[in-house]
Amino acid sequence: MFIFVELENSIDILKQHVFAMQALPDHVWEPFSRIWQTVEFKRKTVLTVAGETERHLYFVLDGVQRAFHMDDHHPDATIVFTYPYSFAGVADSFLTQMSSRFFFETLTSSKMLRTSHQQVRQLADKHPELMAWVLKATAFALSGVLERQVELLKFSAEEKFRILLKRSPHVLQIIPHKYLASYLGIDASTFSKLLSTVRIE
């Protein structure tokens, strides 16, 4: 009974965030809500490996995760962080069903809702309203990626640091600073210096 109530509450949270983007009619939401299951992972669990195809879409209930790129010749580069309440996974691989160029891992113990590409695709093919929601969610994600590209290409280390703290001040408490430095494209010593000198009003 407890597990059912807990899942029901988690689905209610998911519904709030789905509908905040675009409301779905009952005949679409009800089957969509049933394709999710609760999963839990320990910290530093790799959920997606580069070279594999992302089969799952996650919705974060608790914990912090990151997607990152890694090769033999460069330090790993953090692409994105996810935490409550956001969708997670390797988005481009999930949407295209092509091999991922990125890893996806938990940074802390994590609790999430999870569904599969096959289930989402089957429902989206059946319900145009869900396909419209997927397209809108993809557009929002792309907008965020383009905005981040502008920040990385144009702004100084201090400007990027200030933007991060203004947008998401809580990340300093929940994400290891070495990963935040990687996300901003600056070295750890520069991040440490900015942390001690920059104040956000």
pLDDT digits over 113-139, tens only? 999 999 999 999 999 999 999 999 999
Amino acid 200: pLDDT = 65
Position 14, amino acid: L
Amino acid 5: pLDDT = 41
Sort strands 46-48 and 56-62 into parallel, antiparallel or unpaired: unpaired
Amino acid 75: pLDDT = 80
Length of the chain (residues): 201
The three-point CA angle 86-63-122 to 5° equals 45
Q: pLDDT per residue over 40-93, tens digit each?
A: 999 999 999 999 999 999 999 999 999 999 888 878 889 999 989 999 999 999
Q: What is the mean pLDDT of residues 158-169?
A: 88
Query: What residue ranges do the domains of the chain occupy?
Result: 2-126
Closest listed residue to residue 116, CA positions, set 41, 44, 34, 40: 34
The whole model's pTM is what? 0.89
d(C-alpha 105, C-alpha 90), whole Å: 10
CB 110 within 8 A of CB 40: yes
Name the β-bridge partners of 87. Answer: 59
Amino acid 8: pLDDT = 75
Percent of the chain with pLDDT over 90: 69
**Tell me: domain 2-126, CATH 2.60.120.10, correct?**
yes
d(C-alpha 153, C-alpha 198), whole Å: 21
Q: Is the pLDDT of residue 4 over 60?
A: no
CB 124 within 8 A of CB 28: no
